Structure 1
Amino acid sequence: MLRVLEVNQPEDLSHVRGNWQRLWEATKDATFFQTLEWLQIYWKHFRDGKKLRVLLVLDNDRLVGVVPLIVVTESTRLGKFRVLTYPLSDWGTHFSLLAAQPQETLSRALQHIQKTPRDWDMLDFRWLDESDLEHNLTAGAMTDAGYTANQGIWTETAFIDFEGTWDAYLRSRSPKLRADIRRNLKRYELTKRVSFERYRPLGKLAGDFAPRWDLFDQATSIAEQSWQGHSTTGTTISHRTIRAYIKDCHIAAAELGMLDLAILYFEQRPVGFCYNYIADGRVFGLRRGDSPEGRSHGLGTVLTAMLVRDSFARGDKSLDMGPGSFEAKRRWMTRIATVGRMTHYPLTAPRLQLLRLKHWWKACCDRKSGRLQLSDSPKSTAT
């Protein structure tokens, strides 16, 4: 029979590190953001105003599942609510529990939630991938545990699937983009005015985990020269409020073999970067940027083309380019993926029922328009 052990301090998870990794490997399409290393870094930098609730699901004494959750206070036009959710906080686009049998594991974890004092107002599983929605994984677990599951859309993200060959991919692009790529690659590669470096350490276990701070500093410098240097959102890699977080993640990703950093050079000067994480051939694009010099020479197309071509050569599976800016990404992407949410609004909270109606109406408008934007969802009062 399954039982649940709840952990509220990240340092208390160190004794399950090996089993956490085993479950990470057993979880379909697990990402860097589902590693214990990332969770501990996230909590180190963003724990203010939050409560950690990591549910360890055991079969006798064997760990069979990990459900990382946080309680965070979020503000809406209807007031503040305490939300029980995954800890991703939009650093990535997908998240899930870690388990070989996810629905059974999540159901048991939710039964534990029911039996503990309620420190939340709304249960909101965000960043669900399309297969979760198609197979009713989270919805089924919530129903099994006695919760009402309201399906919604969190956002959508653009993908490039690396199926076939680079040449076949080029043929699938618009004639204009195809001509731009070929002309620019020929113009700059034949004259050797540009070069491209992509760094992917194999990880600590393979003895290859140097952080390459030279490349990191080049990417940060380019970001400061681009629009990101003037951004006030606090989420760019050059922003001082998150630079320590990005650096800690950089070290962890290098040690795990999940760092993917590309730099484009023009006449030996760094002019563009793509900062990514990778897991099992699935690349997630965290940030990218171009210097004014790079933009003036139209090198943004060259950087993307070289990155995609290199991924085909390496045998990568996909590149998640992230949500938003679809007009710029449309030329490159092969599909748009829905990122879902599954929410329980307790009937005893009238304000939450109003929020449920608001989310429902927003989802109806999204489906009618055929265009999805980031959900009109609560915003955290503590980032």
Structure 2
Amino acid sequence: MLRVERADVDRLREIRAEWNGLVAAMARPSTFSTWEWIEAWWRHFGDAYEPVLLHFYRGETLVGILPLASRWMIVEDAALPTRTLLYCGSRELGSDHIDLIASASDAAECLAAAGTYLQWEFRDWDLLHFSHVAEDSRLLEWAEGNTVPFPVDSRVVSAAPYVDLSVGFDSYRMSLRKKKRKHLEGLAGQLFGGMGVEYWKCDPVEAKNAVRQLFDLHRLRAASLKRATVFEGERLIRFHEDIAVRLQQQGQLRLRFLRQRGVPLSAWYCFECHGRAFAYQTGMDPAWEKYGAGNLLLYEVIRESSEEGLKEVDLLRGGHYKGRWTKRSRALSTINMYNDTALARLARWGARWRTDFVHAVKQRSRRPTPQNREGEIAPEEM
């Protein structure tokens, strides 16, 4: 039987090697569960939270971590504020693929111990909220099983397209539509050959400045589309300056730009973690949209990832354009677990009412979706 300890942030800062060793043992490791990501989040955003860092021990050996944080808040779909437990970093940073940090062989036992602990020993909560959990995660497997001691609601909220590079870049390139391949080759000839554009890899000295340039390009692009963005604000910028330097020192930062005479035109902000690249954020000077600077940059990021032996580029959530790069994706779900409290029961009722109402409105306003001959949704033209 596992022993559960609720650790504080000081304890977190003492176990970097053990923590990342468990990340490496996960079935699908991601940057968003690493010690560097979670510890940096606590320094920049933790003042609004109470730590509920659950550590699972077999004897004296740490075998699992569920990094939670608590605060009063209203989460998506909820109708009122609750004492909410969240996965560290999932709200402010939009982390995808959050999961229990443990090996596949220890995951079920760790989650069973977490359920018992939250049911009987730590009861100062109403809602346990996991956002954008992947379809093959241990958390979703637990939530959809019959061992969770709480009422559970889960639903698919998005998808994360990914490029499979295990077959090599040439095979991937040939999987793209012929029209798209010719378009990308034409862009490369025009920008690299005729306009003096270069593919630039952020170096360690430039990491902080490059992050600022990324935010500037992202803001320009959002403004040109007249869209609001949550990727802004000085606190968030400082977090990403911090994590970019850390990951750069470990060879895990992939912040790439197209530049012309040193001026950034487009950016892709990616991380590497155990053989996979995670394409986290992008930005582009709107004046270069007509030249396809964003498309060409992503194509070069995928090419570089393959050449360096990575097996996958995960494009993460959001952006319908991502589906044009691959037919593969993983569903992402939101999970809500409710404690046995009056406020939790009221919150669940409110969330279900709101979900049913929104669904009914969408059904009434839905228009027919164009389909091709096989009955599938027609792909968008590039």
Q: CA deviation at 1:262?
A: 0.6
Alignment of 1:53-202 (within 5 A): 53-75=52-74, 78-87=79-88, 88-89=90-91, 90-100=93-103, 101-132=106-137, 136-140=141-145, 143-144=146-147, 146-191=149-194, 193-199=196-202
Can you list the C-alpha shifts for 1:35-57, whole angstroms capped at 9, x where unaligned? Answer: 22222211122224322100111
Match for residue 280 of structure 1?
274
Instruction: Name the SS for the 1:324 alignment partner.
Output: coil
Tell whether the 8 Å contact from 1:32 to 1:253 is kept in structure 2 after alignment. no
Q: Aligned letter for 1:66? A: I
Q: Aligned letter for 1:71? A: S
Match for residue 378 of structure 1?
none
Q: Aligned letter for 1:258? A: Q
Aligned with residue 324 of structure 2, among 331, 349, 373: 331
Structure 1 residues 289-298 or 346-355, which shifts more? 346-355
TM-score after normalising by structure 1: 0.81
Q: Aligned letter for 2:161? A: A
The 1:214/1:109 distance shift into structure 2, 3 A limit, reads same
Q: CA deviation at 1:176?
A: 2.7
Instruction: Name the SS for the 1:56 alignment partner.
Output: strand
TM-score after normalising by structure 2: 0.82
Once residues 288 and 181 of structure 1 are traced to their aligned partners in structure 2, the CA distance between those partners, rounded to angstroms, is 18
Structure 1 residues 117-126 or 209-218, which shifts more? 209-218
Tell whether the 8 Å contact from 2:161 to 2:329 is kept in structure 1 after alignment. yes
Gaps of 5+ in 2: 370-382
Match for residue 227 of structure 1?
222
The 1:77/1:150 distance shift into structure 2, 3 A limit, reads closer
Q: What number of residue pairs does the alignment pair up?
A: 357
Once residues 170 and 283 of structure 1 are traced to their aligned partners in structure 2, the CA distance between those partners, rounded to angstroms, is 17
Q: CA deviation at 1:147?
A: 2.5
Tell whether the 8 Å contact from 1:210 to 1:254 is kept in structure 2 after alignment. no
Gaps of 5+ in 1: 202-208, 372-383
Aligned with residue 295 of structure 1, among 289, 292, 310: 289
- Identity percentage over the alignment? 22
The 1:145/1:270 distance shift into structure 2, 3 A limit, reads closer
Can you list the C-alpha shifts for 1:138-191, whole angstroms capped at 9, x where unaligned? Answer: 444xx4352233332243222222242333323322333222112112233334
Can you list the C-alpha shifts for 1:166-218, whole angstroms capped at 9, x where unaligned? Answer: 3332332233322211211223333472211234x8xxxxxxx6564454454
Q: Aligned letter for 2:167? A: G
Q: Aligned letter for 1:84? A: L
Q: Aligned letter for 1:355? A: G
Q: Aligned letter for 1:175? A: K
Aligned with residue 262 of structure 1, among 248, 251, 256: 256
Q: Aligned letter for 1:299? A: A
Match for residue 372 of structure 2?
none
